[in-house]
Chain A
Amino acid sequence: MLTYTIRRLILAIPTLLFISFIIFIIVKLSPSDPTANLPLTIPPEVREQIRDSLGVNDPIFVQYLKWLKLMMWDEPLHLIDGWFGTELAPPDTPGSRIISYQTRSPVMDLIMQRMPQTLWVVGTSYIVGILIALPLGIISAYKQYSIFDQLGTFISMLGFSVPTFFTGVLFIVIFSVWIDQDSIFWLPSVYDTTLEVVDWDTFVLQFRQMIMPVMVLGLFNASQISRYMRASMLDNLNQDYVRTARAKGLGERTVVLVHVLRNSMIPVVTVIALNVPAVFGGAIITEQVFKVNGIGQLLIVAIQAGDVPVVQTVSFIFAVLIVLFNLFADILYGILDPRIRYD
């Protein structure tokens, strides 16, 4: 298992290099200009100076290699310094950090600032989604074609096919507009990213402002995962070992929750693990609707503003996460299912 892991990790390096190059080329070749969104009152000569000062006019390979060196060497050092208080990174000079075109500040700082919001909101919604999905899937499969199953299927189809920009706005209209502001059922439509949880009152505020985005995303996640759970349970319920377990005289509870569930979880856990990078990626639309300024919002604003360094760095971090969690899912698979061995 260890050799397998090491082999996979080494193989990941050329993969990631290739991905980083492709991302760079795609972003660079797309017609985007960091000065495009400035007011027309700013004359073209000034725009050209701005582009020069941003390094947009450097040859494309110079830009790529500069970025790669910073991404692979300097930025990780800054990250380590930030975490452990060491001073490994060279002092700031022009060109020692990946600088965002829009904010003229280090991209990594922006990402670190956005990460907590995204992890809180999108991460919680993922957990909520799983917590709803697992029981829903299990019961639906066990009582196949019952009223509960039909209802569950209907709700998950609805949750899966109605886009979050619709459910999000619907929730806002119901809970923020129609319901009176003084009512305890009223929920804020704008997420306050500056809120710090220090006591009970601020915790309640944080909880209230998280309800809507978490539920909108949670419903979406739940409908997806519950379908996997149900299908996987159905596969296993008809297996011979289930009949054997029942013949041995085991209770229904033990049969379903121990024998069937454990075996059915194998593919579901893989699906859950493979979707974790998406949590870090944020939920572009939901973040936009509730103004949760997380990673997704950072990415979309950067794309609109032609902010190449941010788009590139954020996409590259996603790529790293996807590669890592793929590996993680494969290893988990081996642990959950003793029949699978990689060596």
Chain B
Amino acid sequence: MTRKILMLGAAALAMAPMAAWADGHLARGGSGHLNIIYWQAPSTLNPYLSGGTKEVESASLVLESLGRFDDTGTLVPWLAAEIPTVENGGISEDLTQITWTLQEGILWSDGSAMTAADAVFTWEYCTHPEGGCAQASYFDGVESIVAVDDLTVQINFDQPTPFPYTALVGSESPIIQAAQFADCLGARAPECTEANFGPIGTGPFVVSDFRPNDVIEFVANDNYRVPDQPHFASVTFKGGGDATAAARSVLETGEFDYAWNLQIDPTILAQMEAQGNGTVVTAFGTSVERLHLNQTDPDPALGDLRATAEGGAHPFLTNPVIGQAMSMAIDRALLVEVGYGAGGQPTCNVLPAPDLYASTANDGCLVQDIAGANALLDEAGILDTDGDGIRELDGVPLQVLYQTSTNAVRQDTQALVKQWWAEIGIDAELRNIDASVFFGGDPASPDTFQKFYADVEMYTNNFAGVDPQAYMANWACSEWPSPASQWQGSNMQRFCDPAYDALIEEMAGTADLERRGEIARMQNDMLVQSYSIIPLIHRGGVSAHANSLGGIRMSDWDSELWNIAEWHRIPE
């Protein structure tokens, strides 16, 4: 009896894909039409001219790169036949050269063959000095790209590059067609409106209509290399509105199949999901919402020397005991519950992923400990001597100005943190600045996150791809934003430690993955334990899809739509 049931089950399992074949949902175009809504509408389909997520992800339906990162962050070959490594001879022993071999027979959607010359052209296009290419950093350190033959692309670096999978890898540096963009180099780039709005690609879909900041219509690419893909025959990619409306159109009204970036009140999102039309999905990459504690003195009395090395150290935030107490006082789990829901996890690391680089040394911060924080401060002799409820260090009261960008979730977080800090005798004054000013980087504005004319600031940062080398190098002493560098620089909290700089050096010369992981974890721990930075929340992308949509493997390492060719309609 049991055996019979098992066999029946096995037979049913074996039959399942065939049933799907039978009604054609998994044939090319067999699933019909797909509706996607991005509440921020793409402005162009040329990711080299924009750099925004919405443009990169919409273009990823059309343009492809040599390799991509799947939902686990693993690099998989895409246009290339395999991933080059030192072992298979694809990367030279001195780490200055990587050789990619293209798959045979890849065609552009216009029917012409894709060759290594297109890859070379893409590099020339993006590195043209007058082009203003938004993805130029992907080609940093690339000395030349050479087409050895039609299927072989050789990338030469000007120095040993232990992680060479940047140029032409991932959704942000895809290969464009040389024939189409030949007259669009440099200053001429904006004139090629037709090419920018309808790039010819090797991907599963072809643009049939593009309306900037509004809607894109795609149809399946007849020349796509996988015979039965894409399963959808056409895609409407609608933009506009707001996140709540986008969530509603998938989870409540069912007008759309997929909605992107739903950073809305988690309780509202949960209510919508409870209607049973769709599912909320999340993917975690490297985004961390964090507090930076200014290590320099932002006192307005210093004038032009505010928040610079010359202005001197911060009167109390350079003391790690205070930073540690501030971190202990925060209930990260509650912050997630209030503001992030499924889209956030408490974290104690600046570098929370991939697994290889994630440290476990700081996990103590996950539990709020106000009593412990108070005891720590008492023990260090930082006491409230004048009875006003605020502790003093050497006569300076622990009063901080806490700034962030204007955003409902961030203001909720600010209010909660202010309350917890009040319980340990630290007074916070809250301030929020419009995001376009805060992140705008205008050297004339006093309110940018680089100038950091405050004691504490909060925002999210991450890095693209899976390799943290460049990201961890952000905290080098030389990276301080200062008047000399027009306030550009990525070491926002002005952390400086020669031992840390030595680790950056070592990382740049190490190819062994295990050792790289070890160094990255050491860097993370040094940063976190300096208490100049307080990681709060590991943030993920939140999207929603209709229950009838199958094949979704959401990735935060690449475009969310990286495997759209495999998406299909689940037969009812």
Contact = CB atoms under 8 A, between A and B. Distances in A.
A53 B196 contact: no
Given A49-B136, A99-B190, A304 B436 contact: yes
A102 B45 CA distance: 11
Given A99-B190, A291-B241, A291-B245, A36 B440 contact: yes
27 contacts: A31-B442, A31-B445, A31-B447, A35-B441, A39-B52, A40-B439, A40-B460, A43-B490, A46-B137, A49-B132, A52-B132, A53-B132, A93-B191, A105-B193, A106-B193, A113-B211, A114-B214, A189-B248, A189-B253, A190-B37, A190-B238, A190-B241, A190-B249, A288-B241, A288-B242, A291-B241, A293-B215
Interface in A164-223: 172, 176-177, 181, 188-190, 192-194
A37 B52 contact: yes
B68 to A, nearest CB: 17
Contact of A293 (B211, B217, B463): B211
A110 interface: yes
B248 A41 contact: no
A177 B436 contact: no
Contacts, number: 180
Contact of B132 (A54, A100, A189): A54
Interface string B421-461: 00000000000000111011110110100000000000111
Interface of B: 37, 41, 43-44, 46, 49-53, 129-137, 187-191, 193, 196-197, 209, 211-215, 217, 236, 238-242, 245, 248-249, 252-256, 435-437, 439-442, 444-445, 447, 459-464, 488-490
Given A46-B133, A293-B211, 4 more contacts: A31-B437, A33-B441, A37-B52, A110-B213
Contact of A102 (B50, B133, B187): B50
Contacts of B191: 92-94
A6 to B, nearest CB: 39
A31 to B, nearest CB: 5
Contacts of B51: 38-39, 42, 50
B479 to A, nearest CB: 10
B236 A306 contact: no
Contact of B44 (A40, A103, A301): A103
A43 B137 contact: yes
Contact of A36 (B137, B187, B441, B444): B441
B131 to A, nearest CB: 6
Interface string A85-121: 0000000111000011011111001100110000000
Contact of B240 (A47, A103, A288): A288
Given A40-B462, A193-B214, A105 B196 contact: yes
A297 interface: yes
A39 B193 contact: no
Identify the 9 closest CB pairs spanning chains A and B, nearest first: A53-B132, A44-B488, A33-B440, A293-B214, A104-B190, A36-B440, A102-B43, A103-B212, A50-B132
Interface in A41-91: 41-54
Contacts of B187: 53, 94
A104 B134 CA distance: 13
A177 B214 contact: no
A171 to B, nearest CB: 12
Contacts of A279: none
B214 A105 contact: no
A9 B213 CA distance: 35
A298 interface: yes
Given A46-B136, A102-B212, A104-B193, A39 B241 contact: no
B344 to A, nearest CB: 18
A41 B41 CA distance: 20
A164 to B, nearest CB: 14
A293 to B, nearest CB: 4
Nearest to A114: B214
A194 B132 CA distance: 32
Chain A residues touching B, range: 35 or more
A289 interface: yes
- Chain B contact surface mostly: loop
Nearest to A33: B440
Contacts of A172: 245, 248, 253
Nearest to B197: A105
A150 interface: no
A32 interface: yes
A104 B189 contact: yes
A51 B132 CA distance: 7
Interface in A282-328: 288-289, 291, 293, 297-298, 301, 304-306
A301 B249 CA distance: 21
B301 to A, nearest CB: 24
A46 to B, nearest CB: 5
Contact of A33 (B41, B189, B253, B436): B436
B215 A193 contact: yes
Given A38-B52, A40-B461, A306 B436 contact: yes
Interface string A328-339: 000000000000
> Most A CB atoms within 10 A — which of B129, B238, B242?
B238
A221 to B, nearest CB: 23
A93 B43 CA distance: 21
Contacts of B137: 41-43, 46
A102 B213 contact: yes
A138 B246 CA distance: 42
B46 to A, nearest CB: 8
A99 B212 CA distance: 13
B470 to A, nearest CB: 9
Contacts of A48: 488
A104 B45 CA distance: 11
A189 B249 CA distance: 7
A50 B134 contact: yes
Nearest to B438: A36
Nearest to B51: A38
A233 to B, nearest CB: 40
Contacts of A298: 213
A48 B188 CA distance: 18
Nearest to B241: A291
A103 B238 contact: no
B275 to A, nearest CB: 9
A89 to B, nearest CB: 14
- Residue of B188, B191, B248, B445 with most partner-chain A CB within 10 A: B191
A113 B209 CA distance: 12
A44 B441 contact: yes
Contacts of A50: 51, 132, 134
Contacts of B136: 45-46, 49
Contacts of B217: 194
A102 B197 CA distance: 12
A43 to B, nearest CB: 5
Nearest to B194: A105
Given A52-B132, A104-B196, A189-B248, A32 B213 contact: no
Contact of A189 (B245, B464, B489): B245
A224 to B, nearest CB: 26
A293 B41 contact: yes
